[in-house]
Structures are given as C-alpha cells and as structure tokens.
Amino acid sequence: MRPSGLAHGVFLRNSNGIDVVLGSNSLLYRTIGGVLDFYFFLGPHPEGVVQQYQEVIGRPHMPPYWSLGFHNCRYGYPNVETLEKVVANYSSAMIPLETMWTDIDYMDQYRDFTLDPNNFPQDKMNAFLDNLHSNGQHYVVIVDPGIAIMKGYPPYDQGLEENAFIKDKNGNVFIGRVWPGYTAFTDFMNFDTHSYWQDQIASFLQLLPVDGLWIDMNEISNFCSGACSTESADGVNTAIHGSEQRVKNSQPTRLKSKTRTRLRRSGTGNRRVGFDPTNPPYSINNFGNKAPLNTKTLDMDALHMNGAALEYNAHNTFGLSEAIATNKALENLKKKRSFIISRSTFPGSGSHTGHWTGDNHATFDDLEHSIIGMLNFQLFGIPLVGSDICGFHDSTTVELCTRWIEVGAFYPFSRDHNDNQSHPQELYRWPEVATVARKVLSIRYSILPLYYTLFYKAHTPVTMTTPPAATVTRPLFFEFPSDVNTFGIHTQFLIGPAIMISPVSTQGATTKNVYFPRARWFDWYNQSVAMEKGGEMVNLPAPLDHVLIHIRGGYIIPMQEPGMTTVASRKNPFSLLVALDETGSASGDVYLDDGESLDMSNYTFVNFSCSKSSLTGSVSGTGWAKSSPPLSSVTVLGLDGAVSKATLNGQSISNVHYNSTTQSVLLSGFQTSLASDFTIIWE
C-alpha cells in the first residue's frame, strides 16, 4: 500500500522452506530450495491485487449454501446420545444450528473411515443423521491423513496393494505415528492414489452419508520427529515389516539417481553426496528456534510419487494435495459441491477447500488475532475461513464467549469448537451468551444472500462488465485505499463493501473507538445516520450484549427473513435494505441458484439500482428465481423528505411507513418475483 491509495502485490511461488523478513523498506526471502518464480500484481487497488493473484493460483471454490450457516463441534463428545442432546439443546434455546461436527471421538480406535461400535454404532449414527437431515441440518466429521498400520484394516491393506503411501528413503512405507498409533500417509501428490482415496470415502459414505469432511493434521503432523522407531511396538512389527516387504516386491527400483538430481536442482546446489536435507546448511526459523525440518513431521528425504519428489521440496504442498483429492472424491461421489475444511493450506487451496485457523486459545488476544487471520486468508484466496469461536484450548468465560460470538457470527465460516480438557462451551450454556447468540446469528442468517453473492463474485472470473471482487470480508483499506487512517486498523472489518463490523476485543471494555472512513454511515439497529461524511474516530457505547454494525451509504443489501437453518431461511421472502449516499443513490446485487449444484448455469443474477426516488431490479441468468421466494419489502434509509405513497410497476403499494426521526421508509404489502425486472417509485 502507498499513501496515494495505489497497491501492488508480490508472490514467490515456491514450496520449500522459506524465511521471510519484513524490514522497514524491504522484503527479504530466504528459501532453501525450489525456483525463484516471482509474480508481480499491479492492482492498482487492493481488491485488484487479490483478483490478479487468484487468476494465477485459481479462483476460490463456490461453497454450498448450507455451509454458510452456524456450525458446532467439540473434541470429547463421548457418544451419539451426547450429540443428540447438543442438537436438541440448541433447538430448545432457539439458537440456529446448521451443522453438527464430530472430532476423532467417533472413530473405532481413532482409525479413519470407521465408527466406534460401542459409543457411535452405525444404526444409531444413521438414525441421528436421518433426524438432522429431516430438520434441514447437516453433519461433518474429521478425517486424518495417517492410515493405521494394521493388517485386516481395509484402508491399509488396499493402500499397500495400490502403492498409495509415502515411502522412506529406502523405498519402504514411511512409518509415522498419530492418533491410531503407527501410521502410513497417503501420497496425494501421486494422482494415481486419488482413486484409492475416493474408494475409502465411498465406503465410508455407505456406512454413514456425512455431508462434508474436515481434513486435519495435514502439515503432515507426526507425533515422532521423522520416522518412528518400532522396536518396542508389540504386535505392530509384523504388520510393518510385512508391509515393507510387499512394497519392496512391488517396487524393485526406487529412482535413487533422480532423487539425488532433484536435490541439486531444488536449490541446495552441488552439495556433497552426504547432504542432509533435514539439517541443510542454512536453517530457516522452524518452530521459532531453527529446529530440524523433520520436527514433528516426516523426514525430509521421504519420497513422494515413487521417488520423483522429496519431502524436502513437497512438504508445504501436502494439505493442498489432500484437499484436491478429497474435493474430487466428494464431488464425484455426491454429484454436488463439496464442503471441506482443511488445517494446512498452500496457494491454490482455496479452489478446493475452506480453512479454519487451527487450535487457538480462549483468550482476548486470540479473539483479536482471529480477525487478522480471517482477513489475511481473504488475501490468500481462501475466503471460506474462520477461527474456533470462544477458543479451542482452555476454558472460556461468559464475557469472552459473548464477545467472540459477536465476531464469529460474521466469519465467513462460523463454528464453535473446543477441546476435551476445557469446559463445554456450546452457546446455550449461559443465558447471557445465548441471548447474544440469538441476536447476532439472526443478523447473520438475514444477510446470507449477501454472503452467498460475495462468494459467487469471488468464485467467478472477472469480466469487463463485472466489478472486481475477490474477497468476502475485507479490511477497511480495501474499500478506502486512499485513506491512510485505515491502513493500520485490524479490529474492524467489512462484509463486502457495504457492512462494517466493529467488535470489542478487549477484556472489560464497554466502549469501542470506531473509525468511520469517508462515507455516509447508518446504524444497523435504529437505521439512523451515524456519520454523515466520515473520516472520524468516534468512541461509541458497546455494552456486553451489543456489537457495533454500520451500513455504508450507496449500497443495497439483499436479505431474507432468518430461520433456524438455511433450508428454512431460503423459503422466506426477500427484502432489500437500501442505504442512500449523500447524492441519493445506491446499488447492489444478488446471486440466486439451488445452493449446491456443480453446474452453475441455472441461476439468476439481479442488479439493483436506486436513484433519488426510484429503485429498479434488472435480471439476468436463466431464471432460477422463478422457484425462489418473492421480494416482499424494501427499506430505504437516508431520504431527504417524507414519503407518502409508492408504486411497483405502476401498481400502488399498500403499506408505506415513513419514519421522520430516521428519515427512512418501509415499503411492504407487495410481492414481486426476482425472475423479472421491476421498478419501485416513491413520492
């Protein structure tokens, strides 16, 4: 960013270990391998920089509509009966719940693609899932990349038969250790293994037809630092050594010469034969203390693609390669858009998966950092992102959880999650939190048409007739790049260009210093003008039960009456919130489709335009809106005079309610299809 408002971006496409040092007037890259493949994006504005970056790495995945609802998870749910109680409690508390999640607790001995026969038996789990689906709700489970080394366990046996696992430097199955004990890791970089991975997911969907997958531990995370020693493993050695022999028999050559050549080509130079990739001559700041590169992960001489790629070069791409395989499998099997959340990502991951920002802590610092993380991932091309609401580690408090849901309700991906060592923190557990949760999630669900439209714009390549759009939530400087006062603000953010969220992220605070960029701003709650011209910092009351929300003049926000699920919300009529700028103008749009189809050719896109005393809707697309609810009300803010009557396409609108205090009008008592052009005029 430059003070003039001009922006540019620099991208080094490199998968090796890198130190990046930001100085006062320099950006220094120190990479230990790969190529110096630089891209320069000339903007000239921030949103344009991200747009151009996405043209290189891939446009973001279009999520299913339901995934934009509120999600709940916990590590430590002991059985299916507990899941049922949690869902019922959310319903009793009248807090929207779209999706229930389960961590590794549901697995049999923590093995992927299994169900614990005692605590999560298949018959009870399918009944639970049927009940969720009948209520318009969904279910997501975790899957780790470590496949338990155990003869008779189908994913392991089939992986051996299909040569699907990463190898050690000798060409044997690399042995790590994660939750189920000794594990092998699927070699997702080898596209031949994608059919193996799809087979495992297909078998699991026959066991339990979940709606999405959560891919975790995919850095790759390993409880050992490098290959695990198995000398003291009772009952495991036979399976391990047997597997090694089978792999050796199926792979008599291991491309050793190519491996050595790759080391030289990958930036290590013409090193001596004894070069150790785990401890290269230059040590990046791994783990913050220059730890060996295999710390809690694989050895750097582990082999991908039957020896064609070293872990040294490929390590950072594992999460991306797993996301590609998982996305492909789910879309092939379900024939609709996938929903995946991944812990590890790389440039391009956003085309296949969303992201959550990992295991945070129940602290106000981590609450504040979650806003930064959400905005960073918009820049990274992964707009479907959020943090564990109320914190993962440590027990939360009423104040912290209340403040966190006031932020988390507006993450693009909104999920409450915590670990089994902390007190449960479902939003209904405290009356104060439940009250605020109902309020802010109701607001979220009412503006889901806006979120969905923003995802569509980020997903769709920009055209000359479509304004640049690459992000769903945005830092203030994205919309106000020439206002240097916005550059350092990270505790306020925008939803698209139109809605500004200013949450409290400081313990004990009951006020908030809110910066209003240069524009006309309206208060979300009372719809009055909060700031006429902007460019000012104002200290506003922000009691514990209140999150500050403002609407930017000049924009039209598509809304729907909120329900307890997205299925219910999508059946309700549409409304428009029109916030006029100082010239009496505003514009906006909405994208409509069935919310899940891979083929997005059957859609409706409506452009809204307001000037002085008329509002028009111009429709394009193939007419999806013919089967969607009608538009039934319009609220116009910032009028310069009273309104007493209005017409829709020349016909009188029966309900016209003008508020002289807020200078706004509510037009209702009509219905018009969003499949056809319309004009509303008031006077």
Active-site residues, by number, are 216, 219, 359
Contact 573, 634 (CB under 8 A): no
Residue 154: Cβ within 10 Å count: 14
Q: Which residues contact 372 (CB under 8 A, 6 or more apart)?
A: 490
3-state SS track over 131-167? HHHHCCCEEEEEECCEEECCCCCHHHHHHHHCCCECE
Q: Is residue 379 helix, strand or coil?
A: helix
Report how far residue 555's alpha carbon sits from residue 550's, in angstroms, rounded to the nearest whole number: 12
Q: Is 195 helix (H, G, I), strand (E, B) or coil?
A: helix
Residues 376, 451: Cα–Cα separation, whole Å:
18
From residue 166, how far is each of 149, 262, 321 by CA, in Å? Answer: 13, 17, 13
Residue 322 Cα distances to 130, 143, 346, angstroms: 29, 11, 11
Contact 176, 165 (CB under 8 A): no
Question: What's the CA gap between 475 and 485, in Å, rounded?
Answer: 12
Residue reference for tokens 């089978």: 246
Given a contact cutoff of 8 angstroms between Cβ atoms, the answer to whether 599 and 339 are in contact is no
Residue 493: other Cβ atoms inside 10 A: 24
Pairing of strands 529-531, 181-185: unpaired
d(CA 529, CA 211): 43
Residue 282 CB: number of other CB atoms within 10 A? 11
Q: How far apart are CA 566 and CA 98, in angstroms?
A: 7
- Map residue 339 onto helix, strand or coil: coil
CB atoms within 10 A of CB 465: 6
* CA–CA distance, 499 with 652 (Å, rounded to integer): 31
Specify the length of the chain in residues. Answer: 683
Task: Tell me the two tokens of residue 503.
Answer: 């949450």
Which residue has 């699927």 as its token pair? 186
d(CA 503, CA 520): 20
The single-letter DSSP state of residue 450 is H
Other beta carbons within 10 Å of 472: 27
Contact 101, 392 (CB under 8 A): no
Rounded to the nearest 5°, which phi and psi values hold at 33?
Answer: 175, -175
Q: How many other CB atoms are there within 10 angstroms of residue 518's CB atom?
A: 14
Interatomic CA distance for residues 479 and 475, integer angstroms: 8
